[in-house]
Chain A
Amino acid sequence: MEFVFGHYNYWIVILLMMVGFYTVISRGNLIKKIAGLNMFQTSVFLLYISIGNVKEGTTPIIAEGFKVYSNPLPHVLILTAIVVGVATTALGLALVVRIKEAYGTIEEEEIHEQDKSL
């Protein structure tokens, strides 16, 4: 029981990761793929921040009266990762707009059909 309490956080985050992964590989609509990719990224961030959490700790801002702080290092890495994630999402969405203009559709099946019939 102790073990389940100590690890359920990770397991639910893995469930979120797998739902995002499944959205990316099984749905054909490009915008849904990008939403699934973002879900995957956000759940990975949750995993990292869970690893850095300390029991009875507080936010890593030095203040009077607090002795135990959470680990600031994962926070820094995830801050960078979030902003890089939005940069790649913006580029992906720009590509979706161009694909729509070139092929007339954003469904993966129809794009493959048009490519095969060239």
Chain B
Amino acid sequence: MIDYLINIILLAFLAITAIAILRIRSLLAVIMLFGIFSLLSAGLFVVLDAADVAFTEAAVGAGISTVLMLATLALTRDHEEKPPAHQPWLPLVVVVITGLALVYGTLDIPAFSDPDAPSQLHVAPRYIEHGLEETGVPNLVTAVLASYRGFDTLGEVTVIFTAGIGVLLLLGRTRRRKPKEDEQ
């Protein structure tokens, strides 16, 4: 009962923060609210029994993402968003239609936290029963991440490395050329 209550309260706060991010025009406030959004969703992950995911979301979303956005804001120095020139009716229609289609899709999903749902039945019981004896690691998420699905994690590390290379290519050191040279 208390779980449901915390769930509802956190989701309500998330919805309010999301609508505030949409409507507020001062970019500094938008970035701060984005940090709050990440932290609230990390809290929601804890309530949903996902400790590793909450840890990563809090560190990465409320930490690194917010810092990088603030750095971009300092570099671009545009602190106010311009009001939209025309009324966005077409995006609103598209969004409402997509939302209704998604809600229609969720009518078939089994109920929230049902232990007999198909998503709990195929591979997950094998990982839960044999994970500790095959890998010797009590944390099942680390066991699956590093041992059972180690190949995917190799791809993930490569993606991070590539992102680092990409940012270095875009924003690398400007060599000691003469200033006021335009990059052609």
Contacts and interface: CB of A to CB of B under 8 A. Distances in A.
A–B proximity contact (CB within 8 A) = yes
Given A9-B7, A14-B99, A26-B91, A60 B141 contact: yes
A29 B27 contact: yes
Interface size class of A (residues with CB under 8 A): 35 or more
Nearest to A24: B91
Interface in B49-71: 49-53, 56-57, 60-61, 64-65, 68-69, 71
A53 B64 CA distance: 27
Contacts of A89: 65, 68
Interface string B96-121: 10110011001101111111010110
B34 A26 contact: no
Interface string B104-142: 001101111111010110011001100110000011110
A51 B141 contact: no
A32 B25 CA distance: 9
A18 interface: yes
A12 B128 contact: no
B112 A10 contact: yes
A62 B140 contact: yes
Contact of A27 (B14, B84, B156): B84
B115 A83 contact: no
